[in-house]
Amino acid sequence: MPNQAQADQIRAGNGFVAALDQSGGSTPKALMLYGVEESAYGSEAEMFDMIHAMRARIAQAPDFIGDKVLGAILFEMTMERQIGGMPSATYLWEERGVVPFLKVDKGLADEADGVQLMKPMPDLDALCARAVAGGIFGTKMRSVINAASASGIEAIVAQQFDVGRQILGHGLIPIIEPEVTISIADKAEAEERLLEALMRHLDALPEGTEVMLKLTLPEVANHYKSLVDHRAVMRVVALSGGYSREEANSRLSQNSGIIASFSRALTEGLSAQQSDADFNVTIGATIDAIRAASVAG
C-alpha cells in the first residue's frame, strides 16, 4: 500500500511535482538547453552521466524541499543511481521530504487515428516490483493526443487505465498522462472529448481506488475542475507542454486545484556553466514562482 505520509503530502500539500524524467530521446535537447552541447559527450553512457549530474544538482538545491516540491518524477536510470551518496528515491524522501515517482512508459507508438498510444511494456511488472523495493510512491506514463478524434482519445484513455490498474496492483499510484499537443487547431475540442473519456473511466474505478492525472493546461480555465473534485483522483497536475514558464504559470494560476508538474519550464534558465550560488538562486526563484502559480487557484 502507498506510504500514508507521502499520500497525504501529494493529496493536500501546497507545492508542485517536479518532472526530472527526460528519457533517452529527450535528453540531448534537455542537455543543450542546460548548456551542454552534444560534442561534450561521446557515448550514451556519458550523456546519461551528464543528465544525472543535472538532476542531482537540482535535487540538492536548498529550495528543492517537500514544502515546495511535493514530489519528483524520476527516469528509470535515475532511480538506479545515487544522489548525495544515497539511492535517489531514498535521498529525495529522507533528506528532502520529496515524494519519488517513476516514469514507466517506453515511449510512443506511431500516430494513428490522431493519437500516439504507448508502446508495449512487457517488463512493467518487474519494473514496478523494483520501484516498490526502491521506495517509489507512484508512476507516470505518457500518451499524446494530436487531434480531436473521439475514437483515438478513447483508445488513449482506455490504454492508460488498463495499464493503471496493473500498476495499482503493485500498490503504486499511477499518474495517467494523456497529453494534448498545444499547437493543434482543435485543442479545445480535444479537451472536451478527453474530459468525457476520463470521467467515464474514473467513474468505473472501484470505490477507494485513487489515481493521479497529468494534463495539458486547458484552453478554458477550470475545464478540468470536475476531475479535481472526483472521488478517484488523488491530485491533478499540469504539464508545461512547450509553453514558456511565464505562460505555463499564467495558465496554471487560473485553474483551481491543479498544481504543476513541469519539466522544461522547471529547468529554464539553468546552466551547467553557472556557479553553485547562481544556480541555486535561479532554481530557487523558479521553484517559488511555480509553487505560487500552483497554489494561486
Q: How far apart are CA 186 and CA 196, in angstroms?
A: 16
Where helices occur in the chain by DSSP H, the ranges are: 4-12, 27-33, 44-59, 76-79, 88-90, 96, 124-133, 150-168, 187-203, 225-228, 245-252, 264-267, 276-295
Residues paired with residue 72 on neighbouring β-strands, in sequence order? 18, 100
214 is annotated as an active-site residue: yes
Rounded CA-CA distance 187/180 in Å is 7
Q: How many CA atoms lie within 13 A of 195 on its CB side?
A: 19
Residue 29 appears among annotated catalytic residues: no
d(CA 152, CA 27): 28
Select from 268, 260, 264 the least CA-distant residue to 290.
Answer: 260
Q: How far apart are CA 144 and CA 97, in angstroms?
A: 31
Radius of gyration in angstroms for the set of CA atoms belonging to the chain, rounded to a whole number? 18
Rounded CA-CA distance 77/88 in Å is 10
Catalytic residue among 177, 191, 192, 210: 177
In contact, 163 and 124? CB cutoff 8 Å: yes
**Does the CA dihedral 27-32-35-36 come out positive or negative?**
positive
> Residues with catalytic annotation?
177, 214
